Amino acid sequence: MAFDEMLTAENLPRPPYKDYHEWYAAQDTAHLIRKTQDAENIFRKTGITFAVYGHADSSEKLIPFDIIPRIISAREWRKLAQGIEQRVLALNAFLDDIYHKQEIIKAGRIPRELIERNVAFLPEMIGFKPPGGVYTHIVGTDIVRTGEDQFYVLEDNARTPSGVSYMLENRETMMQMFPELFTLNKVQRVEDYPRLLRQSLAAVAPPGCKGKPRVAVLTPGIYNSAYYEHSFLADQMGVELVEGSDLRVLDGKVQMRTTRGYEAIDVLYRRVDDDFLDPLTFRSDSALGVPGIMDVYRAGNITIANAPGTGISDDKAIYSYMPEIVEFYTGRKALLENVPTWRCSEPDSLQYVLDNIADLVIKEVHGSGGYGMLVGPTATKKERADFADKLRAKPGNYIAQPTLALSTVPIFVNKGVAPRHVDLRPYVLVSDKVKIIPGGLTRVALKQGSLVVNSSQGGGTKDTWVLED
């Protein structure tokens, strides 16, 4: 039985939802149906879309939005925030270590081949310390809940975590449609994120930066599925949105083409994958990056956020070692637990997974977005058999986890409310300090019984409220 975040077994509202529940009980269903339609119109007019790769219909789609907020108490949030901060600091220490002394490998806590054979490990970063010593400037930590005080980290997103624009637009839409709710409930702000992001990026400008750092957002372009977010964040921060073709290396600096000629950039918030960042260092066929940017980076004349090579820290095989990583670098047990994980690269674990494939969730270690995974309990017999063949062929490509009873929150349907499974992606900014935005992106599985919350797989989003004390 899944934990219901709004209602107790006696059908009474849990404390965080008390005021909202009273308000909802007084509402007319027809009025709320109209509000749902209003929200859809707001999203359509604003252009809040995403693209799904690989579909026959690859047109831009509206991400479904649910008008019932997910509400988290101040006490619950404090517990989450402490665990998230501990984890993010450990990830940064881990990245610094594996690109320098590799003490965790020497101590036998992580197998050497797991690092050195990992496609996300960049030899080009060995011995190099990024400005300010920060690797993971923006992190999205995916968290699931299974009980009153039971939270688990599902995965770490330390490459180019997306979705923050939905968090901000969800809040703005709710405040526009239901202003009275924000009088009834003292909700902590998320609207400061763009300002805090710019401050955080400016704080890690390279040592040679003189005056106010110039920040820019590097996008792969309009055909990228997250292009809306790239342009949204650049606009909200008041910085330039650039493509690789707008940039060139001049006089040892990465410079941006402007109407006044070329001007140097100090901090580049890149939303381009490592492989495409510099055709002189990585993929020579890349038209998305900047030839020579890695030389400028290594010379200490630009900050790249997130740092190249951070992707290894959100690899799902590395994830399975996170309890050891946290304890190794912080000296304390992890405050937020991992989901129990079987590494299919290990023969005994592989056999267990094959024997229990109908009960497990199996994921590609480099996968994201809900692709390349099998949810055993909802898969057909043929899908399970086909996936078992993949496991036997390349066991090191996969990890497996139990099917958790993810918590549910209500979504609004035409007949009232219905429970649906959710996860949460809080956003973390790291510079000379760690700032965790109170809330994050709640993703919700809109299909009854589904555990897959990704928008690319039919999920939606809702506003996340963290209450003040």
Strand partners, 466: 72
pLDDT in tens, 36-46: 999 999 888 88
Total number of domains in the chain: 2
415 occurs within a structural domain: yes
Global pTM? Answer: 0.92
Domain boundary among 402, 434, 451: 402
Give the model's pLDDT for residue 59. 56
Instruction: Indicate if 446 and 349 belong to the same structural domain.
Output: no
Instruction: Indicate if 372 and 354 belong to the same structural domain.
Output: yes
Q: Using H for helix, E for strand and C for coil, what is the string for 179-238? A: CCHHHHCCECCCCCHHHHHHHHHHCCCCCCCCCCCCEEEECCCCCCCCHHHHHHHHHHHC
299 occurs within a structural domain: no
CB 378 within 8 A of CB 295: no
Least confident of 57-61, 123-127, 353-357: 57-61
319 occurs within a structural domain: no
448 occurs within a structural domain: yes
Instruction: Indicate if 382 and 422 belong to the same structural domain.
Output: no
270 occurs within a structural domain: no
Mean confidence (pLDDT) of the chain: 92
Instruction: Indicate if 47 and 126 belong to the same structural domain.
Output: yes
Per-residue burial over 157-166, b = 16 or more CB atoms within 10 Å of its CB, e = otherwise: bbbbbbbbbb
Instruction: Indicate if 68 and 138 belong to the same structural domain.
Output: yes
pLDDT in tens, 273-308: 999 999 999 999 999 999 999 999 999 999 999 999
165 occurs within a structural domain: yes
Omega prior to 170 cis, within 30 of 0: no
pLDDT in tens, 165-209: 999 999 999 999 999 999 999 999 999 999 999 999 999 999 989
Domain of residue 370: give its range. Answer: 342-402
Instruction: Indicate if 384 and 433 belong to the same structural domain.
Output: no
Instruction: Indicate if 396 and 418 belong to the same structural domain.
Output: no
Q: Which residues contact 94 (CB under 8 A, 6 or more apart)?
A: 104, 313, 325, 328, 329
Instruction: Indicate if 41 and 136 belong to the same structural domain.
Output: yes
111 occurs within a structural domain: yes
Instruction: Indicate if 396 and 453 belong to the same structural domain.
Output: no
329 occurs within a structural domain: no
Task: Using alpha carbons only, give the angle 238, 88, 210 rounded to the nearest 5 degrees.
Answer: 40
Q: Position of tokens 């740092």?
A: 307
Domain boundary among 376, 402, 428: 402
CATH number at residue 352: 3.30.1490.270
Instruction: Indicate if 60 and 98 belong to the same structural domain.
Output: yes
Task: Using alpha carbons only, give the angle 275, 305, 302 rounded to the nearest 5 degrees.
Answer: 95
Instruction: Indicate if 80 and 149 belong to the same structural domain.
Output: yes
Instruction: Indicate if 357 and 430 belong to the same structural domain.
Output: no
